[in-house]
Structure 1
Amino acid sequence: MKTTDPDTRQDGPVTSTDAPWHQADLVALDLEGSGAQDRDNEAILEIALVPLTAGKPAVAESYATLVNPGRSIPARPWISPGLTNDVLSRARPLTAIEPELADRINGRWLVGHNIGVDWRLLHRRCPDIAPAGLIDTLRLARACHLDAGGHSLTTLLDHLELTATVTGVVPHGQPHRALWDTVGAAILLGSLVTRRWPTGVGLAGLRTVAALPDVAPTQAPDTLF
């Protein structure tokens, strides 16, 4: 008797016992941090959250803020030029922001590109925040076997001709800033789901391919630049 591959069992129409993925309570997330080389002192500098409605980013309900790290951050190549010490010093500290993050995250599925890296830092700094789970667009992109020449968020968006779409949604944003990357991950998710499951998929099927286990703050991230 032929068995069903759990990785592909959701290729047919979804059933009533597994609602379509886009009906799930999803919120996209991106953090900009000081860098993993800071180890336990790594600071969150910027964070953005965008809920998904019917599988698309609800930008009107987005949340984006700078975070005051409480110390000087040295200039580093991966830190956006806009995240200067002068700008960050005028932002609120994470302790003031954490309740707002919890309201938007707790009980929801977090979506992000290489989400394990973001979750590692967020969980370290805000251990009481409790999402339902983690959906990783990087893992899903690898499962789709795209010949994009790389798996970074910007490379995949360029390959799928979605960069202009993201910029149109976030006209004042830019790659490697939290809101732009958050919207990018949300839009990428929808595109990848359509490619892998043209007839639809439920949350259970999406989780089979793209979900990550909870990432403890001491666990090594899947580094991707």
Structure 2
Amino acid sequence: MHNQPWTAAHLVAFDLEGTGSQDRDDEAILEVGAVPLRDGRTHLQDAYHSIVNPGRHIPRRPWSSPGLTNDVLASAPSLEHITPELTARLDGAYIVGHNVHVDWRLLSLRCPGIRPAGLIDTLKLARRIHEGKQPRSLTALLDRYQLTNEVTQLVGGQPHRALWDAAGAGLLLGKLLGDLPGGGALTVVELRDVAGSSLGDGGEQSLPLF
């Protein structure tokens, strides 16, 4: 299994929107988006998306995600309500995301029972491929690879919303690997070596690759 191609791995592109790191351990999840990758391709028809009621008033800040107003969030399900769905989708999967450890920090804080196989970071991969070149934000890289319109057509919405960013990260992974010498033929372990990010305590070593 270790030597199977990376496209055979259980991969799920994921993004969440939160209240902001200034809230520290009180940061709340406001939106989640998860898009399965099969054979290296995003499958939007099987994607999962939900806004999340944080159970409190959220002050507007310059970096607040567009459209996630208190009125909208008030009618959303609670995190406890959607956690079983997230767990079913992410347990045992490699979570793909852009600067993915930031999302994982909050997700693991709020949903400690979720046990992915590991993290695959498109930002880390972009830094390896485009060393010394700026910028490397998700939106900038999607523009670079002419994927922005494709993401919008597939998902609707706009950047800095969870499903849009998750789909963008999923599409970006394949494009980045296409620019890596031999990237299309990487094994799962080689993908983890070039783009993996630590889960923290417990880590990937205690979990199977598939």
TM-score, normalization by structure 2: 0.91
CA shift at 1:77, angstroms? 1.4
**The residue matched to 2:57 in structure 1 has which SS?**
coil
Q: Which residue of 1 aligns with 2:170?
A: 186
Equivalent pairs counted in the alignment come to: 200
Q: Match of 1:214, as an amino acid?
A: L
- Equivalent in 39, 64, 79 of residue 79 of structure 1: 64
For the Cα contact (< 8 Å) 1:119–1:215, is it kept in 2?
Answer: no
Instruction: Name the counterpart of 1:91.
Output: 76
What does the per-residue CA deviation read over 1:69-123, in whole Å, with 9 as the maximum and x for residues that have no partner? 0000000111123100011010011011111100000011100000000000000
Which secondary structure does the structure 1 equivalent of 2:60 belong to?
coil
| Contact 1:116–1:215 (Cα < 8 Å) also in 2 | no
Q: Which amino acid aligns with 2:35?
A: V
Question: Pairwise mapping of residues 34-53 of structure 1 onto structure 2 (< 5 A)?
Answer: 34-53=19-38
Letter in 1 for 2:61: R
- What is the CA distance between 1:149 and its match in structure 2? 2.5
What is the match of residue 159 of structure 2? Answer: 175
SS in 2 for 1:72: coil
Cα root mean square deviation, aligned: 1.4
Larger Rg: 1
Moved over 4 A (4+): none
Query: For residue 54 of structure 1, what is the aligned residue in structure 2?
Result: 39
Instruction: Kindly indicate whether the alpha-carbon contact (under 8 Å) linking 1:135 and 1:207 is maintained by their aligned counterparts in 2.
Output: yes
Q: Distance in 1 between matches of 2:57 and 2:191?
A: 41
For 1:17 and 1:214, the matched residues in 2 are separated by: 19
Match of 1:103 in 2: 88
Q: Which residues of structure 1 form unaligned runs of 5+?
A: 1-15, 217-225
SS at match of 1:173: coil
Distance 1:208 1:91, change over 3 A: same
The SS at the match of 2:185 is: coil
**Is 1:25 the equivalent of 2:10?**
yes
- Which one is further off, 71-80 or 181-190? 71-80
Alpha carbons 1:148, 1:159 under 8 Å: kept: no
1:117 matched residue in structure 2: 102
Conserved 8 A contact 2:125-2:195: yes
After TM superposition, the score normalised by the length of structure 1 is: 0.85
| Aligned-partner Cα distance in 2 for 1:199–1:99 | 34
Q: CA deviation at 1:148?
A: 5.2
The answer to whether the 8 Å contact 1:120/1:215 transfers is no
Check whether the contact 1:134–1:214 (CA below 8 A) recurs between aligned residues.
Answer: yes
Look up the match of 1:165. 150
Aligned-partner Cα distance in 1 for 2:174–2:188: 13
Identity %: 54
Looking at structure 2, the residues matched to 33 and 211 of structure 1 have their Cα atoms a distance apart, in angstroms, of 23
Quote the Cα distance in structure 1 between the aligned partners of 2:184 and 2:52: 41
Give the number of the structure whose residues are more often helix, by fraction.
2
SS of corresponding position for 1:39: helix
Per-residue CA deviations over 1:38-92 (Å, capped at 9, x if unaligned) read 0111000000000001111100000000000000000011112310001101001
Partner amino acid for 1:119? W
2:140 corresponds to which residue?
A: 155
Change in CA separation of 1:194 and 1:72 when aligned onto 2, cut-off 3 Å: same
